[in-house]
Chain A
Amino acid sequence: MGAVLVREWLGFIRGMGRTGMVRFVAIYFVVFGFVLPSSLGDVTAAYVVFAFVPLYVAGPLAVDAFAGERERNTLETLLTSGVTPGDLLAGKALFSFLFGLFTSWSVMALYTAWSAIRGWEMPGMGLLLPVMAGGLFSSVLGCLTGLHVSMKARTVRSGQQWFSIALLVMVLGVPMFLRFILPHLPAGILTSLGELFMGGWSSTGVLLLSGAALIACTVLWLALRGRVGGLWRLNPGKAVR
């Protein structure tokens, strides 16, 4: 797994080049790390942005994991390198997850330092810790969703298109669904739901949501483990011998 991780890291860093590095810093550290949060005018809203950053970093990296190998004609050789399916999947997943998490936490740290210098409102630990946990979760989610897309996609471009749809569902679809469904719920249920979230980040509701997220990620991971062996079959189909 370590060798796959190093291979991913070298391929990413060397492949990005100076222009790519400038673009990466401009997008994630300037736009997501400064312009967007500072324009929201509210410390909580600003920090929630950092929890979503990994979706946009880990996801595309994960999409490239197998689709990129296919497109660059390196997958066949990689499959004959002696790496096991488990190590291949773990190495690729760990790289995109860690890079997404690193980006999220580092832009948050930079923004916090900038806020301190400028004398802006500082976040308490009650906000920082959940945002860090949210970043961790969205990194896992982006990585696993991206890997699922990557296993099937023939090219990086088609993978990115499918991932964009998944991203839209995750970022916009869920809030829109809640906004549609909540007004139609009976008042009693709404009150009960509201009570579940009394107590803020340590409430029963948050714990239940965290549990659901954990289960969802576990299911996604197990499904990936079940699919990765199929990469070694260039002619999927049933053997009848």
Chain B
Amino acid sequence: MPSDNLAASFRGISVRYGDVTALDGLDLDIPARGVFGLLGRNGAGKTTAIRALVGLVQPFSGTLEVFGGDPAISGWNTERISVLFAEDGLLPPLTVEENLTVWARLHGVRWREATSLAGAVLESTGIAGYSGTKVKELSTGNRRLAALARTFMLPSDMVMLDEPTSSLDPVRADEVRRAIGRLAESRLVLLSTHNLNEAEELCDRVAIIDGGRLVVSGPPGELERMPDRYMVRTESGGLEFRGSRLEPSSNGSVVVECGDPAADVLAELLAAGNRITEFRPYRKNLSGVFMDLTGGGS
């Protein structure tokens, strides 16, 4: 049972499509507030994890709780969760406003209120000028914004966004990121993305999944710190360490791989006669961590 500060909890969840295993014993806790990034390569299981959260796939093993219930049994929790899939799901022949109004109607909102909600969210998303335009006539970016407007339109406790800024220009993408930041003040935003810079900028926590399993989860800052590696610079460039001579990389630094505490490693390097000018834990950005952990790096 997830605690009050957890929105969802996967325990050993496995999902198959025929003979294909999309999630393979996934264990994952998703907090109730902030921006949570779901990262992984194509086919890693991100979309299936989102589908499981909304009850669109039936796990064949494990337990999943979303806001205290099993979505595969209790079904779609429409009042608490809002989702934008990679495919926007807008009806192309309808105008943007009609799409949003019909969406609100499907949620039981009255016509007049639905129209006013649609107008307000289109205004705040910056595409009010396109409210009367048919979706099929919109540019890809504006279509994405219209879909985002639909996702943000009704109140919810969890908003799930699958690649929300794909196909947006940098200015629009930045606006959307700021909107996501505002949303996350009062609810959980689950962000599935390939854009690691975006994840690094927006997410309070990220989870990297690969082959349907959790590889690592935590705040991006913690993942970027590699506790068993240290970056060292010396006056001579090279470094003597445990009987070996380590040559500097092109940027003049040497990476020492060692599981010992930083103070012990530093003392050992000094004792070996190295004249050290810089010593710090080696850090990678999220992209580097991702490449390392998902086999994308060398």
B103 at the interface (CB under 8 A from A): yes
Task: Please state if A80 and B60 are interface contacts (CB–CB under 8 Å).
Answer: no
The smallest C-beta distance from A81 to any residue of chain B, in angstroms, reads 4
Task: Please state if A74 and B90 are interface contacts (CB–CB under 8 Å).
Answer: yes
Cα distance A83–B104 when bound, in Å? 11
Report chain B residues within 8 Å CB of A6: 102, 105
Interface window among A8-16, A38-46, A158-166: A8-16
Task: Please state if B89 and A82 are interface contacts (CB–CB under 8 Å).
Answer: no
Interface window among B72-80, B224-232, B245-253, B281-289: B72-80
Report chain A residues within 8 Å CB of B85: 76-77
- For window 1-24 of chain A, which residues contact chain B by CB distance below 8 Å? 2-4, 6-7, 10-11, 14-15, 17
Task: Please state if B60 and A240 are interface contacts (CB–CB under 8 Å).
Answer: yes
The dominant DSSP class at the B interface is: loop
Max chain A Cβ within 10 angstroms of own Cβ: one of B58, B79, B83: B58
Interface window among B49-57, B183-191, B192-200: B49-57
Contact (A237, B60) CB under 8 Å given A7-B102, A11-B94: yes
Cα distance A233–B55 when bound, in Å? 8
Contact (A234, B60) CB under 8 Å given A6-B105, A7-B106: no
Report chain B residues within 8 Å CB of A185: none
User: Which of A74, A237, A241 contacts B63 (CB under 8 A)?
Assistant: A241
User: Which of B58, B91, B98 contacts A235 (CB under 8 A)?
Assistant: B58
Report chain B residues within 8 Å CB of A176: none
User: Which of A2, A14, A237 contacts B16 (CB under 8 A)?
Assistant: A237
Cα distance A17–B134 when bound, in Å? 12
User: Which of A79, A82, A235, A241 contacts B62 (CB under 8 A)?
Assistant: A241
- For window 114-139 of chain B, which residues contact chain A by CB distance below 8 Å? 134
The smallest C-beta distance from A79 to any residue of chain B, in angstroms, reads 6
Contact (A80, B57) CB under 8 Å given A3-B105, A10-B102: no
The smallest C-beta distance from B144 to any residue of chain A, in angstroms, reads 14
Cα distance A235–B92 when bound, in Å? 27
User: Which of B56, B61, B91 contacts A234 (CB under 8 A)?
Assistant: B56
Task: Please state if B62 and A76 are interface contacts (CB–CB under 8 Å).
Answer: no
A72 at the interface (CB under 8 A from B): yes
Task: Please state if A82 and B87 are interface contacts (CB–CB under 8 Å).
Answer: no
B155 at the interface (CB under 8 A from A): no
- For window 84-128 of chain A, which residues contact chain B by CB distance below 8 Å? none
Task: Please state if A81 and B58 are interface contacts (CB–CB under 8 Å).
Answer: no
Task: Please state if A76 and B16 are interface contacts (CB–CB under 8 Å).
Answer: no
User: Which of A14, A82, A232, A234 contacts B93 (CB under 8 A)?
Assistant: A14
CB-nearest residue of chain B relative to A75?
Answer: B89
B88 at the interface (CB under 8 A from A): yes
Task: Please state if A81 and B107 are interface contacts (CB–CB under 8 Å).
Answer: yes
Report chain A residues within 8 Å CB of B37: none
Cα distance A241–B72 when bound, in Å? 12
Cα distance A238–B60 when bound, in Å? 7
Cα distance A17–B79 when bound, in Å? 35
A239 at the interface (CB under 8 A from B): yes
B158 at the interface (CB under 8 A from A): no
Indicate with 1 or 0, residue by residue over B22-45, a CB within 8 angstroms of chain A CB atoms: 100000000000000000000000
Cα distance A234–B16 when bound, in Å? 10
Report chain A residues within 8 Å CB of B75: 232
Task: Please state if B58 and A72 are interface contacts (CB–CB under 8 Å).
Answer: no
Report chain B residues within 8 Å CB of A191: none
A73 at the interface (CB under 8 A from B): yes
Contact (A82, B60) CB under 8 Å given A11-B94, A73-B89, A77-B87: no
Contact (A81, B15) CB under 8 Å given A7-B91, A233-B56: no
Task: Please state if A239 and B59 are interface contacts (CB–CB under 8 Å).
Answer: yes
A78 at the interface (CB under 8 A from B): yes
Task: Please state if A10 and B89 are interface contacts (CB–CB under 8 Å).
Answer: no
Known: A81-B106, A82-B108. 12 other contacts (CB 8 A): A6-B102, A7-B106, A17-B93, A76-B56, A80-B83, A82-B76, A82-B78, A82-B79, A235-B16, A237-B18, A238-B60, A239-B58
A-B pairs, 9 with minimum CB distance: A77-B89, A82-B78, A14-B93, A73-B87, A3-B105, A15-B93, A81-B106, A235-B57, A82-B107
28 example contacts (A-B, Cβ-Cβ < 8 A) are as follows: A3-B102, A4-B106, A10-B98, A14-B94, A15-B93, A72-B91, A77-B85, A77-B88, A77-B89, A78-B106, A79-B76, A80-B54, A80-B56, A81-B78, A81-B106, A82-B76, A82-B78, A82-B107, A232-B55, A233-B58, A235-B15, A236-B58, A237-B16, A237-B58, A239-B58, A240-B60, A240-B61, A241-B63
